[in-house]
A and B are shown apart, each in its own frame.
Chain A
Amino acid sequence: MGAVLVALLVPGLAFAASPVSQQQNGDAPPPVEGATMRVGLQQQIDSLNPFLGYTLASTDIFRSIYPTLTTYAADDFSVEPELAESWESSPDRLTWTFRIRDGATWSDGEPITAQDAAFTYNLMMTDSAASSANGTFVENFESVEAPDDGTLVIRTKTPQSTMLAIDAPIVPEHVWSGVDDIANFTNDEMPVVSGGPFTLTEYEPEQYVTLEANEQYWRGPPKIDELQFVQFKNSDAAVQALRKGEIDVVQKLTPAQFDALADEENIEQVRGQGRRFYEIILNPGATNSENQPIGSGHPALTDVRVRQAIDHAIDREAIVERVLGGYGEQGGGYLPPIFADYHWSPPPEQRRGFDIGEANRILDEAGYQRGEGGIRRTPQGEPLNFDFVLHGDESSDTQVGEFVKQWLRDIGIAVELQPVSDSQLGDRTTAGDFDMVISGWSANPDPDYVLKLQTCGARPSPDGGGLPDTFLCDRQYDELYDRQLAEFDPAARQDLVKQAQQRFYEQATGLVLYYQNSLEAYRSDRFSGFTTQPADNGVVTAQQGFWGYYGAVPTEAAATTGSGQGYGTVAMALGGAVVVLGAVGGVVLLRRRATADTRE
């Protein structure tokens, strides 16, 4: 063992003196012109087909290579023209006309026209496989037509205010019209014909993806020449790779990893507001779309007073400090504060602060008397003992579970923690088979989708279809939801969205505990700046757009040194050492064999 190690190290010791950042260009590939940015990826790319890929990793790639009608501004998520340079809607709000910009081209030189957009949306409306990932955007479309190359006309069944948030990638008709079977089309013919700021040129599954700058991009080419996503299967390795300079950007850091990078020179930390909210669902008496009760919720939780009392017993400040290491904001309203236009925060007179005394008072008043062992009972005599279902492989869930269990014991409620796998948790949530369960969603700049989760319509059908969240089914909430979807005045819509959140907060079916920060870091010796989204406290990767990668400014060092890791010499020496060792060993063995034969 020791001998082997030494043999491996000796050739390398010669390079011990050279710092990491200096490249050994001995046998390294010749430096490329311009800079390559390598982003550590900790999630699988499920498909390169933009109609099928669900994961954030895939979505991030699609955003960088395919155009959309409109996009979200880097500064503040406001609507920004992309392929459509202007738009108008008819007086009845049912017909939308988009002017498609002139002069944009696909990477193979063909012009991008309204025909491409019409083809894409029609495909999503008619082919079930094509509607897999982004079908919700076209659910309410009546028809999509392109009367000429510069005009796209979309008619909707009912007025919808989300028409400037159609986040579906638009694909080239001349490539995709020949695809018979969308479900089995892998879209890995390189280079992939695309029209965004980057072009996909190389894909090694489970290893890396290479995108090259699109010199023809109508906004102008990106400042970097190449964008690479390098797969890492565990985040610790990705952090080490950043420290070493093997990659330039890491995302999804844990608080501990983030803190560990604080003193590293050449590494800049980015602490951005997250798009996720983290909530505890209290089963309010789950029903399906036919209004039949389903699942196994505890009857006491159908009482809004019990749900509100539980909220009073949760110390959000402690959870943010202890579970997130301070990297997050205390929860209140439903939508995260990163979307400032829509975020609602309960005013002081409505906010349910951490107050065990108040929680006990509410429960006493509501007639839940303490019984044996200090556990409260319903007026019918049933003890308040709740199942709390959590993700078994998430440490944050485990910690939150333990805290909540202790606090609820103080108000006379017994909690049994039930850690399960992700898919089991999803199944039990949909079936209403829980008293308390952890949930959470990533919100989009347009709040419609997450708001819809709390409507009666989101409840599962009797055959188990559907995607419910808290099983709230409240007429007042639904009315506010419908009104905001049909409201085209931005200020008025924001107001309705806030009212809906207020109603959701009062009902206390979902207790939003926190909004987690998004923790990233990059090599400041190779990149001097990124466009963050939003401008203040924004993120660099996985944006609602491509601004971070598009606006990244490479330093002199990054532009002049190749991305070759300069291991050529070391590798050669190593390889040589191994070969020599093997040869010597072999010769020795053979000789000993030979002499042994003669001796016997």
Chain B
Amino acid sequence: MTGPAETPEAAESEEREPSRWGRFLAGKLGGAAVSLVLVAILGFFLFRVLPGDPARAMTQGAPVSGEQLAELRSRLGLDQPLWKQFVDYMVGLVGGDLGTSYTYSRPVTELIGERLGPTVLLVGTATGLAVLLGLWMGTRAAWRHGSAFDKSATSVALTLWSVPTFWLGLILLMVFGVGAGPIPGLFPVGGMTSSSPPDGLLPQILDVAHHLVLPSLTMVAVIYAQYLMVMRSSLLEEMGAEYLTTARAKGLREDLVRRRHAVPNALLPTVTLIFLHLGLVAAGAITVETVFSWPGLGLLLFEALRVPDLPVVQGVFLVMSASVIVMNLLADLVYRFLDPRVRES
């Protein structure tokens, strides 16, 4: 993360304000664009060093002859010199074409489009819940730090954070999916929809929601601790601040002091963290997607890496990098917007 751009002007006036914002924006956007181009170039060469012959991996175990393998390689363009492959890739990229997947024989953009929705749904829901839970608990814990609530909330959160996601997912799957003892199996064991989805929009939405419960719960359990800890520590830093004493001296109730004075300031580092996390949306879900057979992007990348299905790997890498870059940009902008100190610097 880079800090906000320095502006050399010392003199500040109202009408100069938009241009400063403009310049700041332009600088940030330019930086993001350059990063994206670099990522695209890097991605191409980076994955070319992956060991493995895609043609052989694809046909693993199938009766194919050497000639067929050679034909397959030429169809995939693997027999072209590297510079030629690179030029083709870049030309396609400019036209919004990420190429065709080796394994699925379908356009990569289509594959990514199909999988992006489920991943965003899963990670979005989980992050949203984790943020709410983490911020609320973190605030409570800091405000009464040292209390029984503080101790238990932090230790539970840290425990869940350090539990392997895969294991926790499987336990939840067995307890709430299959049922254990008195607990009935309430939720589906895998997938995003029933294999015979109900008719009608509302039942279908509920069907997906029903499938979403366990995977998102697993993710929330694992990630909410980070928000809790960041919120807790940044609020603790604010708590000794003099403006809080002033607020109390004005006669404000304790919870108002907390909510209207301390929390907004403490939120700043947390907001950055949330945005950075959203950037890692696709990457973060691989394990949960695997446990619950969730048809998302993480899984697509994982399977593509094994082949290696280069167009898919490059495409997903680009999408993931782009989301990190964009979220970084947003974090910078929001931070500047939220924090007058940064805005005035």
The answer to whether A230 and B65 touch (CB under 8 A), given A183-B105, A241-B190, is no
Cβ contact within 8 Å between A1 and B189: no
The answer, among A38, A570, A600, for a CB contact under 8 Å with B260, is A600
Cβ contact within 8 Å between B64 and A135: yes
9 A-B pairs besides A20-B184, A47-B105, A422-B306 with CB distance below 8 A are A28-B198, A29-B198, A38-B195, A132-B68, A233-B190, A236-B173, A237-B293, A244-B189, A574-B213
The answer, among B170, B199, B291, for a CB contact under 8 Å with A29, is B199
A578 within 8 A of B: yes
Q: Which residue of A lies closest to B56 (CB)?
A: A426
Measured between beta carbons, the chain A residues less than 8 angstroms from B213 are 8, 574
Number of interface residues of A (CB under 8 A): 87
- Which residues of B does A touch, CB under 8 Å? 51-54, 56-72, 75, 100, 103-106, 111, 114-115, 129, 133, 156, 170, 173-174, 177-179, 182-186, 188-196, 198-199, 203, 205-207, 209-210, 213, 217, 220-221, 224, 252-253, 256, 259-260, 289-295, 299-300, 303, 306-308
Cβ contact within 8 Å between A563 and B156: no
The answer, among A233, A234, A575, for a CB contact under 8 Å with B209, is A575
Q: Which residue of A lies closest to B50 (CB)?
A: A423
The answer to whether A422 and B60 touch (CB under 8 A), given A4-B133, A232-B293, A570-B210, is yes
22 A-B pairs in the complex with CB atoms less than 8 angstroms apart: A5-B217, A15-B186, A20-B185, A29-B196, A49-B105, A54-B59, A132-B68, A136-B63, A183-B105, A207-B195, A228-B195, A230-B190, A233-B289, A233-B294, A237-B173, A237-B293, A423-B306, A564-B194, A565-B188, A570-B186, A575-B210, A578-B209
Cβ contact within 8 Å between A596 and B195: no
Cβ contact within 8 Å between A568 and B295: no
Most buried by A among B103, B179, B190, B259: B190
Counted as pairs of residues, one from A and one from B, with CB atoms less than 8 Å apart, the total is: 230
* B292 CB to nearest A CB, Å: 7
Measured between beta carbons, the chain A residues less than 8 angstroms from B57 are 422-423, 426
Complex CA gap A149/B14 in Å reads 87
Measured between beta carbons, the chain B residues less than 8 angstroms from A238 are 190
The answer to whether A20 and B179 touch (CB under 8 A), given A564-B198, A599-B256, is yes
The 8 closest A-B pairs by CB, nearest first: A423-B52, A206-B295, A466-B66, A465-B66, A241-B189, A571-B210, A571-B206, A233-B293
* B58 CB to nearest A CB, Å: 6
A52 within 8 A of B: yes
The answer, among A133, A186, A423, for a CB contact under 8 Å with B106, is A186
Query: Which chain A residues in 136-154 approach chain B with CB under 8 Å?
Result: 136, 139
A27 within 8 A of B: yes
Complex CA gap A16/B234 in Å reads 44
Cβ contact within 8 Å between B206 and A244: no
Most buried by A among B51, B63, B194, B253: B63
Measured between beta carbons, the chain A residues less than 8 angstroms from B56 are 423, 426-427, 430, 467
